[in-house]
């Protein structure tokens, strides 16, 4: 699979204009706004998807990879990763996806600890998935607009497992947060996740390598208005209003 999906809707969105490719079933069909079947969906339901083109901040390509024994096949890696994705996340963050694993078109909910007691409620959309890779896409209000591609392949005498993020901060507040520790937290998150995945696969302890490249240093000021959808701000406001509503409820009377 290409590391940089060229179309937000994927090849399936091109139906009617060109023959469908052989891997059309691995792409999600195009959606205008996200829906959540399982209920909830704070900062997800009704949101549009945002790729790097729609983001605000500098564009970054971040790659994290670890080398495993060739006895661990690439398909075994991806099957385990898709089937138990949230189990490899740091304990302070939660991922709520389908019980059967990730498939094209699925929407999963995230509750992420961003530090300082602040939490982010958002989600991701499964844009692409096959036996050797899968790609997630972020909605409006997420910390960044972009794609996250997870892949595994045999390379020489090892199986290389990769996470690649192509992203821009979604709004000026997120851009500021990324500059003051956000990038470091992002790196720690994926290093911990990939280390946990390797342990689940029974691999010997290994090093997660990182590479960060600034693809475009320009900030897209025309997209600064996306701060309206900022999920951290909206999560905090939701928590405050919920707490106030609970305080207003009358205390139960004596029985």
Determine whether 52 is exposed, middle or buried from the number of CB atoms within 10 Å of its CB (0-12, 13-18, 19+): buried
* Of 143 and 17, more confident: 143
Instruction: Please calculate the CA angle 24-25-26 and round it to the nearest 5 degrees.
Output: 90
Render pLDDT for 139-175 as a digit per residue (tens, 0 to 9).
999 999 999 999 999 999 999 999 999 999 999 999 9
Burial of 144 (0-12, 13-18, 19+ CB in 10 A): buried
**Rounded CA gap, 33 and 35, in Å?**
7
Average pLDDT taken over every residue of the chain: 88
Domains of the chain are: 43-246 (3.30.530.20)
Report the pLDDT value the prediction gives residue 70, as an integer from 0 to 100.
94
With contact defined as beta carbons under 8 Å apart, do 158 and 69 qualify?
yes
- pLDDT computed for residue 153 by the predictor: 97
pLDDT value for 158: 96
The neighbour count for residue 215, using CB atoms within 10 Å, is 12
Q: pTM value?
A: 0.85
pLDDT for residue 9: 46
Quick: pLDDT tens for 22-40: 688 999 999 999 998 766 7
- C-beta of residue 63 within 8 angstroms of C-beta of residue 211: yes
Joined tokens for residue 233: 């701000």
Q: Grade residue 97 by pLDDT with cuts at 50, 70 and 90.
A: confident
Lowest mean pLDDT among 2-11, 44-53, 153-162, 234-243: 2-11
Those residues with Cβ within 8 angstroms of residue 223's Cβ, 6 or more apart along the chain or in another chain: 54, 55, 56, 171
Give residues with Cβ within 8 angstroms of 84, minimum separation 6: 101, 200
């Amino acid at each position: 699979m290409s590391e940089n999906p060229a179309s937000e809707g994927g090849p399936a969105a091109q139906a009617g204009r060109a023959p469908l490719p052989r891997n059309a079933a691995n792409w999600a069909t195009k959606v205008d706004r996200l829906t959540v079947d399982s209920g909830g969906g704070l900062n997800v339901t009704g949101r549009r998807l945002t790729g790097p083109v729609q983001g605000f901040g500098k564009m970054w390509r971040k790659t994290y990879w670890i080398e495993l024994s060739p006895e661990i096949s690439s398909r075994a890696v991806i099957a385990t990763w898709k089937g138990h994705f949230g189990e490899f996340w740091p304990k302070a963050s939660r991922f709520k996806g389908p019980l059967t694993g990730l498939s094209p078109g699925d929407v999963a909910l995230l509750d992420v600890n961003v530090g300082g007691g602040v939490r982010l409620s958002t989600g991701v959309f499964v844009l692409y998935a096959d036996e050797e890779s899968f790609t997630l896409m972020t909605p409006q209000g997420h910390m960044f607009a972009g794609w996250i591609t997870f892949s595994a392949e045999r390379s020489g005498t090892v199986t290389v497992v990769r996470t690649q993020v192509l992203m821009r901060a979604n709004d000026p507040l997120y851009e500021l947060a990324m500059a003051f520790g956000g990038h470091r937290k992002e790196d720690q998150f994926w290093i911990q996740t990939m280390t946990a995945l390797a342990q689940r696969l029974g691999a010997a302890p290994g090093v997660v390598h990182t590479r960060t490249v600034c693809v475009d240093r320009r900030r897209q000021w025309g997209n600064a208005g996306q701060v309206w959808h900022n999920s951290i701000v909206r999560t905090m406001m939701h928590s405050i209003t919920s707490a106030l509503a609970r305080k207003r409820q009358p205390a139960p009377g004596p029985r």
